Structure 1
Amino acid sequence: MTDAPLREVRRAVYRPVREGNALEDTVARLVQTIRLGVVAPGESLPPERELAALYAVSRDTVREAIRELADTGFLVRRRGRYGGTFVADPLPRPSERSSVPAEELEDVLGLRRVLEGGAARTAAARTLSPEIRAELWARHEEACGAGEADYRRLDTMLHLTIAEVAGIPSLVALLAENRARVNAWLDTFPLLPRNIEHSNAQHEAIVTAILAGRPDAAEAAILEHLAGSEALLRGFLG
């Protein structure tokens, strides 16, 4: 089993940016890729030429975006035969926790409930191939076996895999953008060991319901799971 995310997840983060704000949007898309863990700390980004083609921007724009993120500690550039652009390991952490306006927090979390609840319900209603079933369960096991340093990344990969299993490519892009915003907030406070144990048990309930073809149970399980992280976000950021 590889850490590489599924095809639609990669399409979601490596898609053309909007015209008019190419540099800003390229920086934002690279940050999204990092926040979601699509490229793990210590791993390399695709080459500049490939990124330019994927984002439909010039190589100069990609180079400038990488420079901006290198200056802030998110990326590291290396020269030589095995050089390239790598995600910093460890990633920089916010120096101080700031509050988030209640309206913004509730907007993002409300959208997350709609997107992830719908993804779990839709995934459970589909007839899944043996390969997809194995992939989904493997993502769950990877998150269960993750250490603290890698947990949030593999947790994110599981949630994005559920969205991909739903079979609606545009849903993956929306959920990836939403999840990146949530991850940026989660990264401002530490993981809680007992919360990880509870989260893993809830993940098993979600995945089991999807694999059993029980849409109601899958949606209910993921909404209960999301409520736990919502409580932490409100407590730390409110």
Structure 2
Amino acid sequence: MERLSGGAHLGVFAPVQNQARVGAVARRLGDAIELGLLADGEQLPGEADLAARLGVSTVTLRGALVVLREQGLLETRRGRGGGSFVTAPSGPPAERLRARLAEYGVEELRDLGDHHAAVSGAASLLAACRTDEDGLARLRRLEEEFAAAAGDAAALARADRRLHVEVAAAAQSPRLTREEIRFQTESGALLCLALSEDDLAGAAVRQHRSLLAAVEAGDGQGARALAEEHVRAAVDRLVDLRLHLPD
């Protein structure tokens, strides 16, 4: 799996602010692994370096790494060239995702969708104005990865999340990139549920292609409209799924 750009990694390894607890650090890194923001087999920075980047003590970091190893998301290799390496899961279990979806109310999902659409739309507009050829090349590869994952909801969701983050990175806005990563770590995995249906998955492939074409053409307003439409379609499906969950 291709690694994401430096802008995306900066968001993953940004300080954990005031949530310097073992659980908060484990969730930040674990979500980044599940979302595909940290690639399978990727080596994490050394403990002292990573603790400094996250703004936590080495004791807190070590506790988080223990949690991630117990969850099967990291493996530790000893000796020369050793360290902590990502072991990405094949996809989050559907039952866990349904339980996570049940934690949201319908209005909360809609509000989250409105906020995410605004951020994704703004990032897409700026990406169309600011991205360079390297950024476009990364977006093309991720769009191809998404299309190739048809029929695999977990792979589709991972590719979709990576593409959203890479668009934000292409906008060359660290704040928008961090905000996009926050959305993806908070609720991005739920997209597996929405993309399990062929009609929505097919529509998402077409939306991605149209979005990339708009970014390549420098059509900022068109890119923003397409990004917002894409986010709202996914949220509408999640709202429908939430309404049909048993109480």
With the shorter chain as reference, the TM-score category is 0.7 to 0.9
Work out the CA distance in 2 between the residues paired with 1:69 and 1:181. Answer: 18
222-231 or 207-216: bigger deviation: 222-231
Work out the CA distance in 1 between the residues paired with 2:194 and 2:44. Answer: 26
Work out the CA distance in 2 between the residues paired with 1:136 and 1:53. Answer: 31
- Structure 1 gap segments, 5+ residues each: none
- Structure 2 gap segments, 5+ residues each: none
Work out the CA distance in 2 between the residues paired with 1:189 and 1:140. Answer: 18
From the superposition, tell whether residues 15 and 200 of structure 1 become closer, same or farther in structure 2 (CA, over 3 Å): same
Number of residue-to-residue matches in the alignment: 235
Q: Is the 8 Å Cα contact of residues 123 and 171 (structure 2) preserved in structure 1?
A: yes
Structure 1, residues 123-164: CA drift from partner, whole Å, max 9, x if none?
22x154322222222221222123624222121111111111
Matches of residues 95-134 of structure 1 in structure 2 within 5 Å? 95=95, 97-98=98-99, 99=102, 100-124=104-128, 126-134=129-137
The secondary structure found in structure 1 opposite 2:75 is strand
Work out the CA distance in 2 between the residues paired with 1:131 and 1:85. Answer: 27
Work out the CA distance in 2 between the residues paired with 1:146 and 1:186. Answer: 14
Alignment correspondent of 2:75: 77
Alignment correspondent of 2:140: 137
Work out the CA distance in 2 between the residues paired with 1:34 and 1:203. Answer: 23
Q: Is the 8 Å Cα contact of residues 35 and 183 (structure 1) preserved in structure 2?
A: no
From the superposition, tell whether residues 34 and 224 of structure 1 become closer, same or farther in structure 2 (CA, over 3 Å): same
The secondary structure found in structure 2 opposite 1:95 is helix
Return the offset for 1:235: 1.4
Work out the CA distance in 2 between the residues paired with 1:76 and 1:216. Answer: 41
Alignment correspondent of 2:90: 90
Work out the CA distance in 2 between the residues paired with 1:186 and 1:133. Answer: 24
Q: Is residue 2:172 matched to residue 1:167?
A: yes
Q: Is the 8 Å Cα contact of residues 130 and 171 (structure 2) preserved in structure 1?
A: no
The code of the aligned residue for 2:9 comes to R
Q: Is residue 2:6 matched to residue 1:22?
A: no
- TM-score, length of structure 2 as denominator length: 0.83
Return the offset for 1:172: 0.2
Alignment correspondent of 1:210: 215
From the superposition, tell whether residues 95 and 197 of structure 1 become closer, same or farther in structure 2 (CA, over 3 Å): closer
What is the RMSD of the two structures over their aligned residues, measured on CA atoms? 2.5
- TM-score, length of structure 1 as denominator length: 0.85
Structure 1, residues 203-232: CA drift from partner, whole Å, max 9, x if none?
010110111111221111112212221121
Work out the CA distance in 1 between the residues paired with 2:149 and 2:95. Answer: 25
Work out the CA distance in 2 between the residues paired with 1:85 and 1:134. Answer: 27
Alignment correspondent of 1:58: 57
Matches of residues 181-220 of structure 1 in structure 2 within 5 Å? 181-187=186-192, 191-220=196-225
Q: Is the 8 Å Cα contact of residues 27 and 65 (structure 1) preserved in structure 2?
A: yes
